[in-house]
Amino acid sequence: MKVALLVALAGAASVAQADLYTSADITGDSSHISAASMQNVAPANRTTDGYFLGHAIGGAGGFALISPNVDSIFNGASEVLGADGTTGGTITSSDATLVGDVFALGNTVIQVQLDTTAADMFISGFTVGGLPADSAGMFMGANAGGNPLDFTNPAFMNQALLYTIDASGATTNVFDVTGIMGTLGDGSWDGSAGVSISGLMDAGTVAAGFQFDLNIVPAPGSAALFGFAGLVATRRRR
């Protein structure tokens, strides 16, 4: 399994894990990136503590899920999901917390990734909706009709990156997809993603994933409760 930490990209200076990437650090042509949606594909083993992460192929005719239709669990471990629908390769999901703590407040950087045992995750020669599948897709949560990645407190997106890895372990592309992440009513991230990438078919991609830099803040109710508790304590001291 190849897990990209995205801290020393080809052609970019080495930076600390906590640093954010700027446009100068991004490889790949962002014009190939667009928001995509693939609704009504509920995972077969939908779980309350799981999240859905899958890859797809498609284009103008829509997108079709090719990864196993099952949830992953965010627990820092790898999970074998099953066979890819186009190559037959085994798909494994993995996740990691690179900075901070997803259960604590403040800055945290997390990563979710899919790996395949096949030579390529996205191969041509298929049609979706009667049209050639000429684009790759990465879907997470509600954008594929599945479970989003939930947080105890609101998580605001600082930056979202989508990356790809080849068989040598090299990071071949890193795309800044911050602007197309979904949000809830309070502006926090909704735990879902749907990204279409043209020009990535038959490119030798054996792993792809997202890296999310988040700022987790207290929920409005908990902040009010804390303030009330502080007021009571102050009165008691008097």
Tell me what percent of the residues of the chain surpass a pLDDT of 70.
Answer: 73
Q: In the sheet where 33-35 sits, what is the strand order?
A: 33-35, 193-198, 135-140, 53-59, 62-65
CA distance 208 to 15: 21
The string of pLDDT tens digits covering residues 180-206 is 898 999 999 999 999 998 889 999 999
Q: In the predicted model, is pLDDT for residue 234 greater than 50?
A: no
The string of pLDDT tens digits covering residues 90-126 is 999 999 999 888 778 899 999 999 999 999 999 999 9
Mean pLDDT across the stretch 4-24?
29
Tokens 């979202």 correspond to: 160
Mean pLDDT across the stretch 25-52?
60
For residue 15, what are its two tokens?
């930076």
Q: In the predicted model, is pLDDT for residue 26 greater than 80?
A: no
- Is 149 within the bounds of a domain? yes
Tokens 């965010």 correspond to: 74
Full domain range(s) for residue 166: 23-237
- Is 10 within the bounds of a domain? no
Between 24 and 28, where is the model more confident?
28
CA distance 157 to 154: 10
Q: How confident is the model at residue 48 (pLDDT cuts 50, 70, 90)?
A: low
- Is 4 within the bounds of a domain? no
CA distance 182 to 191: 8
What's this model's pTM, rounded to 2 decimal places? 0.79
Number of domains in the chain: 1
Between 66 and 229, where is the model more confident?
66
- Is 7 within the bounds of a domain? no
Q: In the predicted model, is pLDDT for residue 36 greater than 80?
A: no
- Is 5 within the bounds of a domain? no
- Is 42 within the bounds of a domain? yes
Q: What is the pLDDT of residue 32?
A: 58
Mean pLDDT across the stretch 13-37?
42
- Is 193 within the bounds of a domain? yes
Residue 86 · residue 123 · CB < 8 Å: yes
Q: What is the pLDDT of residue 23?
A: 33
Distance of CA 171 to the CA centre of its chain: 16
- Is 103 within the bounds of a domain? yes
Q: What is the pLDDT of residue 27?
A: 40
For residue 230, what are its two tokens?
């502080």
Between 24 and 173, where is the model more confident?
173
Q: What is the pLDDT of residue 220?
A: 81
Residue 209 · residue 162 · CB < 8 Å: yes
For residue 111, what are its two tokens?
């990563």
The string of pLDDT tens digits covering residues 119-133 is 999 999 999 888 889
* Count of residues in the chain: 238
